[in-house]
Amino acid sequence: MQRSWRQRFHLPAVIGTIPMILVAVGVFVIGIGFSVLWSFTSSKLFPTYDFVGLAQYRRLWADSRWLVSVNNIWFFGLMSISCNMVFGYLLAVFMDQRIRQEDLFRSIFLYPFAMSLIVTGLVWQWVLDPNLGLQAAMRNLGWSSFSFAPLVDANTAIYALVVAGIWQGSGVTMAILLAGLRGVDEEIWKAARVDGIPTWRTHLSIVAPMMKGAFATAFVLQCVGVVRVYDLVIAMTGGGPGIATSMPAVYVIQLITVRQNVGQGMAAATMMLLPVLVVLGFSGLVLWRRNRRQGARV
């Protein structure tokens, strides 16, 4: 049945969302438009309109720091998203066991997410600093051969970032998945128990598929968080040692502000936009399919 325009768009609702629409169009669409436009120019410190075609993209993909950044984001993304989802789900299941002091535990697990990464990243940096943190403490206690300094080694620094990312992200994944778990009807659990299905099997084959929406939300949030990861890197390693933990967002800011090379920075920003568009398109597709199925059911 075709609904009329008036039914679909309520006037008060449209008026209410106008500020949001203006911000979205003004800041995001126009801003992104200029970013893409300037990525085709030779802009250095000041944006210019001297178009040079794809030259900035060619220079970008020849820059070893950008290549390292791209490799890092894949590694960081795959590791932290998969671990976050697994740990988040396990934590949510744990929290769902009607444990005592649930509020307290929930606060503890959510706490890393609630605090600024600049602060927690710095704390991590201090804990992992060989002269201040864990290593120095163990050595002062008498274990003089103790060696644990992942941040200062170019080969291990990225793992330290992943661990901090998991520490920060698994709490919020837990919160979303816990809400999803609580949304599952109690009757289903009872029915499964009556049928003698083991608990793990109920989780895996019945409950998890019913929580598709919660999983999708948590996944998309994680992905967006990974693409724009910046403060964690700046606070913990500053992109170092050397360029070992550089990330695309760090690279873009570095090029625009420090290197005074707006054109190439915008080319990098445009490259970053692509995966975000893919993720948004994917989540949009999921949402659209779900809406259509629900619409068909009604």
Binding site for other proteins (CB under 8 A): 44-46, 63-65, 125, 129-131, 149, 151-155, 237-244, 254, 257-261
Q: Which is nearer to other proteins, 172 or 247 (CB)?
A: 247
Q: Which is nearer to other proteins, 68 or 166 (CB)?
A: 68
Least distance to other proteins, CB of residue 241, Å: 4
Q: Which is nearer to other proteins, 149 or 162 (CB)?
A: 149
Q: Using alpha carbons, list the distances in angstroms from residue 184 to 68, 103, 178, 202.
A: 43, 20, 10, 12
Q: Which is nearer to other proteins, 62 or 141 (CB)?
A: 62
Least distance to other proteins, CB of residue 60, Å: 13
Least distance to other proteins, CB of residue 225, Å: 24
Category of 238 on φ-ψ map: left (φ > 0), alpha (ψ -120 to 50) or beta? left
**To which residue do tokens 């500020």 refer?**
19
Least distance to other proteins, CB of residue 231, Å: 15
Using only the alpha carbons of the chain, give its radius of gyration. 24
Q: Which is nearer to other proteins, 111 or 148 (CB)?
A: 148
Task: Give me the sign of the Cα torsion angle 265, 219, 28, 273.
Answer: positive
Q: How many alpha carbons lie under 13 Å from residue 135 in its C-beta half-sphere? A: 16
Least distance to other proteins, CB of residue 77, Å: 22
Q: Which residue type does 80 have?
A: S
Rounded distance between C-alpha atoms, residue 188 and residue 192, angstroms: 6
Q: Which is nearer to other proteins, 67 or 197 (CB)?
A: 67
Alpha helices in the chain (DSSP H): 5-8, 11-23, 31-38, 55-62, 64-95, 102-114, 117-128, 134-140, 157-182, 186-194, 199-201, 208-210, 212-227, 231-236, 248-253, 262-297
Least distance to other proteins, CB of residue 57, Å: 15
* Cα 133 off chain centre by: 28
Least distance to other proteins, CB of residue 167, Å: 20
